[in-house]
Structure 1
Amino acid sequence: MSTPTIPSAPAFNEPAPSGALLLLGQGVDLDSERGVECTGALPAASDPNLVERARAARAALGDRVFVLGHHYQRDEVIDFADVTGDSFKLAREAAARPDAEYVVFCGVHFMAESADILTSDAQQVVLPDLAAGCSMADMATIDQVEDAWDVLEEIGIADRTVPVTYMNSTAAIKAFTGRRAGTVCTSSNAHVALRWAFDKVGGVEGDGKVLFMPDQHLGRNTALRDLGMKPEDCVVYDPRKPGGGLTPEQLVAARMILWRGHCSVHGRFSPQNVHDIRAAVPGVNVLVHPECKNEVVELADMVGSTEYIIKALDAAEPGSSWAIGTELNLVRRLAAAHPDKNVHYLDSTVCFCSTMNRIDLPHLVWALESLVAGKVVNQIVVDSDDAYWARVALDQMLALPGH
């Protein structure tokens, strides 16, 4: 008996360009990025020998270099990664390769900081483009967070508030969290981290609080969906306003104090996107990241981290239809990896992580060839005291149930 043939899925529909983003890392946002210069001769993007140059540099360095590629990176960079994954997985992978003298992190600044914290002093972490920052991480500066904590102390609630910071934060914010006996979380374990934090101050049903930074949407979605809280239990602290834009009474009554931050990619998805794709693709499964707004998450069929999204597509039935609300490079890669499934991008316009995309093949070649020449460029070094306390917060996360 012959096996029935499953018809191939339609080709991936490329979303339309959006002028609101620095597409493919072109252009400069001086207000948020950490650096805009390449101290050396950056190869031209048109150089036909870039791939061969990257291969030659990798071969010359051998096991002395370990290249990490975040899921949201361009394919031209991912092709040279030893390991791909989310930010914390990559940092741990780097720490597990103590013989690698150089760790080239093709991600963004806070990720390279975490790698520097977790690797040994003998290893040097390189970020190919210092302008590869993270707008979400930049939304919570250490001065702002310390000022916010002062507000909580002034109204008498700091002693029953536990700070929890998302992995997508600077080393300084992670260190702040470690100094105050809090923890770091990922999008996969945020629910575990929040339960642990509330248990320190009387439990989810008590009157203790969590200061959740810097992504308000992940904090809100986790509190409402996983902890059974109500919208009125959450307030948003705006660091640009006196007292966070909240009255002392609002802060006293709140259970979740959410930092006013968000992901510029996931924050773009809207309920209308969900309605539009359901109208266009009958039976489509809508799968989104928990950094999306709550009104989008509530309309989705499935919600989960980047690794969750990848595994969901791996396990999906052939011929099934999926609309995915996360970064476009990853969605493109998933569509290519699953030609037997009908994979759509949730938004109708391009939504790259523009700062992640600043790391391209020319920057990678420049970084690798510099190492071959004996010059370490764009090394990421975290202040030793911050590194110690950030490690305390990261170790607390690793001690949470499930790790």
Structure 2
Amino acid sequence: MVKEEWTEKGYIDEPADNGTDLAAEIRRMCKEKDAIILAHYYTDGSVQKVADFIGDSLALARKAAKTDAKIIVMCGVHFMAETCKILCPEKLVICPDLNAGCSLADSCRAEDLKKFKQEHPGYTVVSYVNTTAAVKALTDVVVTSGNAKKIVDQLPKDEKIIFGPDHNLGSYINAVTGREMLLWNGGCHVHERFSPQAIVEMKKEHPDAIVLVHPECKGPVVKLADVVGSTAVLLDYAVAHPDKEYIVATEPGILFEMQRQCPDTVFLPVPPEVSEGSAGCSCNECEYMKMNTLLKVYNALKYEWPSVDVPADIAVEAVKPINRMLEMS
């Protein structure tokens, strides 16, 4: 393939030589090229196994900000690679597939947020990390699902706040902080699919199971939870209580690390709808996260492409709310 074809496709699908141990070659190239592989909990297990570090959005941002590696391979979605580039402008940041987008980030365009801010002067903008660099540039402080409550709690009680783009997370933060933030009407297409009926049915079959729910889920689902939190919070709870059985309402990629750390624990992923024989079915996968494959990681390292860049004028503004988040976390 020529580079023009790579650019149009957004990734390189050149097959590896027959018999190539992709994982071993990836690790060899990381050492040779001084590269680090960061992977989100929602990526495929084979990608998590080869990564130097796995985590949620906050942990990945912290790791990117501190790494001495020359190359960062971000196995997640596009906004995560943008965040790495904003924090590490001097480094080469590679995204194995540029098509790995995010429905939540897509639900809030920078031009729409700019207009909304103009219609609501005097409001502080708190944006979820699942946003584009251009939206972050219009933001006062970035948050993740793991630190949103902590950061909002630090803002003055009478401060007028716009929270976006995830309406479900914003509603949850309003409920646990007593705030009345103005919420953007965006959502994650994966977490929107979880249904309370499915959890009710699963609880009938597993009455002693602990229900773990991500706050991007809808309110009726969150109300059924025993534990609400980010992927890291849910993982930590399970690791601290390995003798329990768990019903998990978040993207099932997290089950790989949960099962790795708790090999004898039963984890049951919640299906999107209640149907005969559906309980325990793993069918709420994020197709964008699953675009990260070992072959794409291998090719991305081999060719050091596709790289992610952020325009300097956007990056200089976007880094401010990210750094504020890191300072307040």
Do these two structures clear the TM 0.5 threshold for a shared fold by scoring above it?
Answer: yes
Please, which of 112, 123, 135 is the counterpart of residue 103 of structure 2? 135
Residue 234 of structure 1: aligned partner: none
Aligned residues of 1:92 and 1:118 also touching (Cα < 8 A): no
TM superposition shift of 1:79: 1.8
Residue 57 of structure 2: aligned partner: 87
Residue 128 of structure 2: aligned partner: 166
TM superposition shift of 1:174: 0.8
Residue 274 of structure 2: aligned partner: none
SS in 2 for 1:328: coil
1:313-349 Cα offsets, whole Å, 9 max, x none, are: 101142x211011111212442354232221112244
Could you tell me the percent identity over the aligned residues? 35
Residue 219 of structure 1: aligned partner: 170
Aligned residues of 1:194 and 1:210 also touching (Cα < 8 A): no
Say whether residues 1:75 and 2:45 are aligned partners.
yes
Amino acid across the alignment from 2:134:
A
Aligned residues of 2:40 and 2:54 also touching (Cα < 8 A): yes
Change in Cα spacing, 1:175 to 1:129, as seen in structure 2 (3 Å) is same
Say whether residues 1:288 and 2:213 are aligned partners.
yes
TM-score, normalised relative to structure 2: 0.89
SS in 2 for 1:211: strand
Change in Cα spacing, 1:362 to 1:221, as seen in structure 2 (3 Å) is same
Return 307-316 or 382-391, whichever deviates more.
382-391
Work out the CA distance in 1 between the residues paired with 2:192 and 2:8.
25
SS in 1 for 2:216: coil
SS in 1 for 2:39: strand
Work out the CA distance in 2 between the residues paired with 1:89 and 1:96.
11
Q: Runs ≥4 in structure 1, deviation > 6 angstroms? A: none
Structure with greater Cα Rg: 1
TM superposition shift of 1:38: 4.3
Work out the CA distance in 2 between the residues paired with 1:53 and 1:302.
38
Work out the CA distance in 2 between the residues paired with 1:327 and 1:227.
26
Work out the CA distance in 1 between the residues paired with 2:289 and 2:298.
16
Aligned residues of 2:213 and 2:248 also touching (Cα < 8 A): yes
Counting matched residue pairs gives 313
Say whether residues 1:187 and 2:149 are aligned partners.
no
Please, which of 43, 46, 59 is the counterpart of residue 28 of structure 2? 59
Change in Cα spacing, 1:67 to 1:336, as seen in structure 2 (3 Å) is closer
SS in 2 for 1:79: helix
SS in 1 for 2:136: helix
Return 88-97 or 185-194, whichever deviates more.
88-97
Give the RMSD, CA atoms, in angstroms. 1.9
1:151-300 aligned within 5 A: 151-152=119-120, 158-159=121-122, 161-177=123-139, 182-197=140-155, 199=156, 203=157, 206=158, 208-224=159-175, 226-229=176-179, 255-300=180-225
Aligned residues of 2:11 and 2:98 also touching (Cα < 8 A): no
Aligned residues of 1:95 and 1:120 also touching (Cα < 8 A): no
Residue 20 of structure 1: aligned partner: none
Aligned residues of 1:109 and 1:134 also touching (Cα < 8 A): yes
Amino acid across the alignment from 1:362:
L
Residue 74 of structure 2: aligned partner: 105
Work out the CA distance in 1 between the residues paired with 2:302 and 2:242.
44
TM superposition shift of 1:265: 1.5
Change in Cα spacing, 1:267 to 1:48, as seen in structure 2 (3 Å) is farther
Say whether residues 1:396 and 2:321 are aligned partners.
no
Residue 351 of structure 1: aligned partner: 284
Residue 14 of structure 1: aligned partner: none
Residue 118 of structure 2: aligned partner: 150
Change in Cα spacing, 1:49 to 1:264, as seen in structure 2 (3 Å) is farther
Aligned residues of 2:126 and 2:141 also touching (Cα < 8 A): yes
Work out the CA distance in 2 between the residues paired with 1:270 and 1:36.
38
Please, which of 47, 59, 83 is the counterpart of residue 114 of structure 1? 83
Amino acid across the alignment from 1:140:
C
Please, which of 222, 230, 247 is the counterpart of residue 323 of structure 1? 247
Give the gaps of 5 or more residues in structure 2: 1-6, 272-277
Residue 42 of structure 1: aligned partner: 14
1:14-54 Cα offsets, whole Å, 9 max, x none, are: xxxxxxxxxxxxxxxxxxxxx8714655227xx7535x144
Work out the CA distance in 2 between the residues paired with 1:327 and 1:49.
32
SS in 1 for 2:84: helix
Residue 22 of structure 1: aligned partner: none
TM superposition shift of 1:57: 4.5
Amino acid across the alignment from 1:308:
V
Aligned residues of 1:187 and 1:290 also touching (Cα < 8 A): yes
Residue 239 of structure 2: aligned partner: 314
